[in-house]
Structure 1
Amino acid sequence: MYIPASYRETDRAVLLDFLAAHPLGVLVSTTSGGDRGLYATHLPLHVDRERGVLQGHLARANPHVGHLESLAAGERVLVVFNGVDAYITPSWYPAKQEHGKVVPTWNFSAVHVHGAVTLHHDPAFLAAHLRHLTDAHESAQPKPWAVDDAPAEFITQQMRAIVGLEIAIDVLEGKFKMSQNRSHADIDGVITGLGESGAAPGVVAEMIARKPAR
């Protein structure tokens, strides 16, 4: 991923926090067979910080399972995580009034993970993974649902239809493009414009947090 220095985030804790806050990733790998290409699957992933891995699962019927099984030893996959984003109109820049040499852009945040993948068919792995994933996302619910709320035989049947996976977090790339390359006046103009539009409060908060020191 192309990351200008002003947009680069290298703090591992910050990047892992991002993965936990934006768990829906896009898993990308090469395809198997004679016609080599790329295959992508959108899936929620759980971050195991202690072991430095991402855990998830795929439908057994997903052709991606076969593509992953065919990867050469050590061949890495890519997982793309997207955060907040917003269109930025140059009308918000004071520079537009000063010299007019401005163009539209897009502010966004994204983290890429590179690493080798391991597939798991073991029911014990799948059961533990599903509990971790479920508990993480049900914790904010007024009445959290738990895996054990469903009949055991039903959960066993559901697990037969999925394949677990772990991705070793080898490389973490973080890009937080939040107008850091603009003047303080232009950054303030964008913050005001987005705030008044009410369209992207997450981008506003990120811009304020990442505003360069004078």
Structure 2
Amino acid sequence: MYNPPQFREDRPELLAEIIRAARLALLVSAAADGSVPEATHLPMTLVPGEGPHGTLYGHVAKANPQWRGLAAAGAARAIFTGPEAYVSPSLYPSKQEHGRVVPTWNYVAVHAIGPVEVVEDATRLHAIVSRLTEQHEAPRDTPWAVADAPDDFVASQLKGIVGIVLRIETLIGKRKLSQNRPEPDRTGVLAGLSASAEPADRAVAEAMRAG
């Protein structure tokens, strides 16, 4: 990921927060046949304290060919996208001064890279699925649990998936939030996005305020 110094984000606690808030990852890895990389959208759970930057757990369908490539390549990249918004030149006061402005896009992203393990053991798969379920059911008034389903049904479902364990060795964070613009332009972007009817725009404004 191209990441100029002014946009780099290295604070571990903030990178973990971005990963958790993104919820859905894009897992990218080399194809088994050496062709273009393969990619799968999947939820992944971050467990801190396991390895340099934590460990990501998820699963894919056994019918998905990517997992065989993962087993061969031994490494992968998980991409998490945070808030993003189009930035119009009309939000810059400098547009009125000299007109030398162009549109851009503000966004937040984290790339997690490291060795990956494919899991087919039923006991470990059950733990991966249970942890992921607990994370996303927790906010509900009456959380559903894997144990709510019949054991034989759960066992049959586990046969159709493989687990993915990515131990993060490299963590790259990017927060492109108008840091490269003069302060009046940055203030104009913040005001414009804050007043937008689009929730995604307002989320970027909130990220800008957070610093």
Aligned partners of 2:204, 2:78: CA distance in 1, in Å? 22
Which stretch has the larger CA shift, 9-18 or 91-100? 9-18
1:76, distance to aligned residue in structure 2 (A): 2.5
In the alignment, is the contact (CA less than 8 A) between 2:117 and 2:165 conserved in 1? Answer: yes
AA matched with 1:19 = I
Displacement after TM superposition at 1:127 (Å): 1.0
Alignment partner, residue 54 of structure 1: 56
- Please state how far the C-alpha of 1:36 moved relative to its aligned partner: 2.6
Alpha-carbon distance between aligned partners in 2 of 1:30 and 1:55, rounded to the nearest angstrom = 19
Residue number in structure 1 paired with 2:10:
10
1:27 aligns with 2:27: yes
Taking the aligned partners of 2:16 and 2:110, their CA distance within structure 1 comes to 9
Contact 2:19 2:110 in 1 (8 A): yes
Measure, in 2, the Cα distance between the counterparts of 1:81 and 1:57.
16
**Correspondence 1:68-107 to 2 at 5 A:** 68-71=70-73, 75-107=74-106
Q: Give matches, 1:107-186, under 5 Å.
A: 107-186=106-185
Distance in 1, Cα, partners of 2:153 & 2:179 = 51
Q: State the distance in 2 between where 1:187 and 1:69 align.
A: 45
Equivalent position amino acid for 1:53 in 2: T
Partner of 1:195: 194
Q: Which amino acid in structure 2 is aligned with residue 6 of structure 1?
A: Q
The percentage of aligned residue pairs carrying the same residue is: 42
Structure 1 Cα separation of the partners of residues 20 and 189 of structure 2:
27
Q: Take 2:184 and 2:17, find their aligned partners in 1: how far apart are those partners? A: 30
Q: Write the deviation string for residues 25-66 of structure 1: whole angstroms up to 9, x where unpaired.
A: 111111122x53211111100011021210110100101121
* Superposition deviation, residue 148 in structure 1: 1.1
Give the AA of the match of 2:115: A
Which deviations, in whole Å up to 9, do the C-alpha atoms of 1:133-158 show, x marking residues without a partner? 01111111122111111111111111
Aligned partner letter, 2:108: S
Unaligned runs of 5+ in 2: none
Describe the SS at the equivalent of 2:195.
Answer: helix
Distance, in Å, in 1 between the alignment partners of 2:3 and 2:25 is: 19
Quote the offset at 1:18 in angstroms: 1.3
Read off the aligned partner of 1:156 and give its amino acid letter.
Answer: A
What CA deviation, in whole Å up to 9, does each residue of 1:59-112 have, x standing for no partner?
0010112111222xxx42111110110000000110001111110000000000
Alpha-carbon separation, structure 1, partners of 2:157 and 2:80: 26
Q: Which moved more, 1:193-202 or 1:134-143?
A: 193-202
Residue 206 of structure 1 corresponds to 207
The Cα of 1:166 is off from its aligned counterpart by 0.4
* Secondary structure of the structure 2 residue equivalent to 1:50: coil
Name the SS for the 2:123 alignment partner: helix
* 1:196 counterpart letter in structure 2: A
- Gap regions ≥5 residues in structure 1: none
Indicate the SS of the match to 1:205.
Answer: helix
Alignment partner of 1:197: what SS?
Answer: coil
